[in-house]
Every structure is written in C-alpha cells, then in structure tokens.
Amino acid sequence: MPKKHTPEELMALAIEEMKKSVPDNGRDDNKINPKVGAILATPDGEVLGTAHRGELRDGDHAEFTVLERKNRDKNLTGMVVYATLEPCAPGARNHPKLSCAERIFNARIGKVYIGYIDPDPTVAGEGRDFLKDNGIEIDFFPKHLQDHIYEENKQFFDQAEIRAKEEKQKVFISPAKPFEQVLNNYEVDDLSDDAQNDMITRMSLPYKQGSEGFYQYLSDLNLLAKPNRSKVFKPTGLGLLILGRNPQANFPQSRIKFTIERENQEPFISEIEGPILLMPKKVEDLLDAAFLTEINRDGFHREELTKVSKKLLRELIINAIVHRDYTIEGAQIKVIASADKIEIWSPGKPLFSMEKFKAFDVPSQSKNPKIAYIFYKTRLVEERNIGMKELKTYKETNNVKAPSFRMEESYFVTTVFRATVPEKVFALTAEEKSNPLLAVLNEKQIQLYRYVAENGPTSSGDYAKVIGKSDRTVRNYYKGMENVLKQEGSGPATKYALID
C-alpha cells in the first residue's frame, strides 16, 4: 500500500527537493535564481512525483517538471502541489511558454501549498492571486519551514529587492485590482508632502520630494503611473492610499475607529485618517494621549497596561493596516476596548486557517504585498511576523487567557484579554527592598517611582492623566523623592527621571 504523508511531511520533502536545485548554466547576467522544490501528491498524502529546479533541463521550473515532464499523461484533477516558492504568474514567462500558475490551473490541480511568496515587490502575490481567482485553494507552509526556505534562498531574496529598483519593472493595470488603477482625477499634488518625506527619510532614498527620480521610484512600486503614454504622473489607488493627503475622500473604508466602552458613561470614540503611511505614528500618539489613559481609569479596576501591552497593541493595529482587505467598502479597522479585553477588527478573511493563528504559527505573507513591503522597508514593521510573537509573549509573561481569533461577518477579530490583578500592590519587591532610599516612600510615591522606572522620563502632566489626578497633586508626590527621582523643568512641563 502506498505510503500516506501528512501535509507538513510533504512540505519538508519539498524543501529537501529544493536543496537539490541545479544552478542555470550559461548565464552572464549575474542574476541569482531561486532554489525551488515541488511535490505532487494526492489529497490523502500519496506522493505522485517530485521535482526541483533544473532537474531534467537547464532552467526548467520545478512545477513544470513535476506536472509536464513527469506526469503529463495522468489525470491530475483535484491533486495537490507543494511548492517552496510562489508559482510564477502569467506574464512572467516569454511567449509561448506558460507560467507555472497557468500550468497548475490547466492540470486542474485542487490545492497548492506555497512556501514563500516571491519577494520582488513588483510581482509579489501575482501567482498566488491568479490561482485563487481561478478557484484553486491556497495554503502556506508554517513559519518554521519558511525559515529554512529563506536561509537557502537568502541571496535570491536580497537580490530581488535590488532588482526591483534597477530593472524598474512596472506592474500596471488589472481590472481585478482596483487599487492599482490610475486615478485620472488626481494629481501628484494630491499626495501628502509629509508622507512622501517620511518615506524618503525612513527608506534612506537618494531622492528629494517632488523630483523626477522619486516619482519614477514611486512608479516602480506602482504608486504612480503615466496613463495612455502621458508624460504626466498620476497617482494610482495604491499611491493615494499610502501617500495621499486625504485618501478617505476616495476610500472612506481606510479609517481606524477607536472605541472605549465605559461604565455609566458614553463611549470614548476617536478616528484616525490620512495616508496609511502616517497612521502608525498617529496610533502611537492616540495610545499615549487618550486610549491607554481612558482604558486604565479606576472604574475598570485594572492595572496600567505595560510596555509589552502598548507594543502589542501597536503591532496588532499596524498588522491590520497592512493585511486588511481594502476592497470591502464601508468596512474600516475597528479597535474596541472594554474592562477585560481589547479587540482589533480587521476587514476581510485572513489568508491562513484559524488553527495556524491559535498555534501562533502564521507565515509571513500578506494579501497586500506592496503595502507590506513599504511598511517593512520604512521600518514601521520592526520585524516580519512580530505581531504573532508579541501575542505569544504577552500571554506567557502576563499569565492571561490566550488571545482568541474569530470571523465576525466580514471582519477578522483578534481579542486580547487583559490581566485581572489587584488594583493596587504597593509592597516592595525583594529588589526594591535592597534600596534603602525606597523604604521611606509612601504608597503613592512608590507608584510614581515604578511608573518612571517602567516608562522612562515622565512629565507630571502625563502622569496626572494616567492616575486621574491634578498636575499639582503629582508634583506634591515628588516631595521626599529627591533621592530617587530627579526633576527637570517646572510646572506642567516638569519631567521626572530615575537618578542613576
């Protein structure tokens, strides 16, 4: 009886095939080609064929080899392909060659597991989208197997980003991608100067805002285009979304709505608008100035959120900005907080199964690869997949109920539960007891000391908002703390910092 394998075993087998890939001969363009492995299997896990790049002929793709060269005479309807790299998309192969995605479709394959999306930002996701649009089920390798693929192909991935700049390939109009359509009723003047300069600074680009070189760079990323052979650049929908002065005029769904539910009071509500490239900073400002302050009012009987919690919220909201479905009209990102939990509502169904989310093993893939690329290169996302890492760390370090994931109508909802602890714990820790200067402090002074130790130099005004007291009251707490805190400035601008 033929051996049956689990999906993960077949993914591992595809990675072993990948390592056998043969470099293309006779090339003089210094282009590094990827190592790719492919497995053809039945739905219940029986292997029908294996292949790697260049196995039978120089340059042949692994998917072509396993489908056309090894199994051309078989009925492959409903079979499953495991490919370590996203199958190339229509248009990627010179006529009359078919792309691997087209060959998979023509073979009536039922499902494709993809190891890694092609990293070139001008083509990323095209093969995946072609397969999905033609009714083929898509799934992905887990994160720990993706790491093996990345290490084997690091030079290819690094060169792909350089190639995107040098080759200046343009991925223009597709009726299936309305956000990549040229907006003829908009001009480059409708782009935000602040957003453009922020992008230049964060990406260390060698251009000035408004220069031809910068506009050409934006065109390479499909944020601008010259329609109908025009000499004038126009924003695309994607360009307006990322850099526009007021993208909500055209895409009202690109807002973030914050709601804090409060006992016996009206909810606290605030909205963030503008170019999505500037939204992370606005999210941070709102978390500091209003959101975290409101959510930690005494009425909720919960401790102040820690730095991990703030970082976690920031990353989850940025992930929603990057990965949400922008084609769903009227569905904006929603952040809803209550006494015991915080929910992030992201429009659209995720690429991955709920099981992967529950295992905190979500691959580093996005349904918006160009947005993900720009956010990563501008360092707005510190590390790929950091949101899942922060979720796991938050659960483990705070001993709280595990985060949950669910679909609610057209929204993917992530719920983070807050830790339930005594409202006030003022007893000195063992470490604090070793400092005799703290022994003379009262409870309120210990609270202030711990806050400064946790958050760094803090203004008296900001701390007053946190505890719901007046600025003068906070300054009174300082009396008697001169040996552990130093005071900088005066009045509401006063800041307290630890004495080294």
- Got the DSSP string for 349-365? --SS-HHHHHTT---S-
What is the reported pLDDT for 305? 42
What is the reported pLDDT for 339? 74
Cβ–Cβ under 8 Å, residues 364 and 217: no
What is the reported pLDDT for 137? 93
SS3 179: helix
> Where are the alpha helices (H) located in 413-470, listed in sequence order?
430-433, 443-455, 460-467
The Cα 352–Cα 140 span in angstroms is 7
Question: Could you give the C-alpha distances from 192 to 188, 210, 239, 275, 370, in angstroms and in order?
Answer: 9, 11, 10, 8, 19
pLDDT tens for each residue of 127-159: 888 898 899 999 999 888 988 998 899 888 877
Q: State the DSSP H helix or E strand holding residue 342, giving kind and residue range, or none if neither.
A: strand 341-347
Q: In degrees rounded to 5, what are phi and psi of residue 259?
A: -135, 125
What is the reported pLDDT for 337? 86
What is the reported pLDDT for 292? 65
What is the reported pLDDT for 118? 76
Those residues of the chain that have pLDDT short of 50 are 28, 165-176, 298-308, 421-425
- Cross-sheet strand order for the sheet of 485-488: 458-459, 495-498, 485-488
pLDDT tens for each residue of 250-264: 999 999 999 988 767
The Cα 463–Cα 474 span in angstroms is 7
Q: Which tokens is 208 given?
A: 């000035």
Q: What is the DSSP letter of 51?
A: E
Whether the full predicted model's pTM is greater than 0.95, yes or no, is no
Nearest Cα residue to 108 out of 77, 83, 132, 139 = 77
The Cα 258–Cα 334 span in angstroms is 6
Q: Are strands 333-337 and 404-408 parallel, antiparallel or unpaired?
A: unpaired
What is the reported pLDDT for 108? 95
Nearest Cα residue to 405 out of 393, 391, 390, 384 = 391
What is the reported pLDDT for 440? 83
Q: Which tokens is 147 given?
A: 């790491």
What is the reported pLDDT for 4? 92
Q: Which long-range contacts (CB under 8 A, 24 or more apart) does 23-26 make?
A: 23/54, 24/54, 24/58, 24/59, 25/58, 26/58
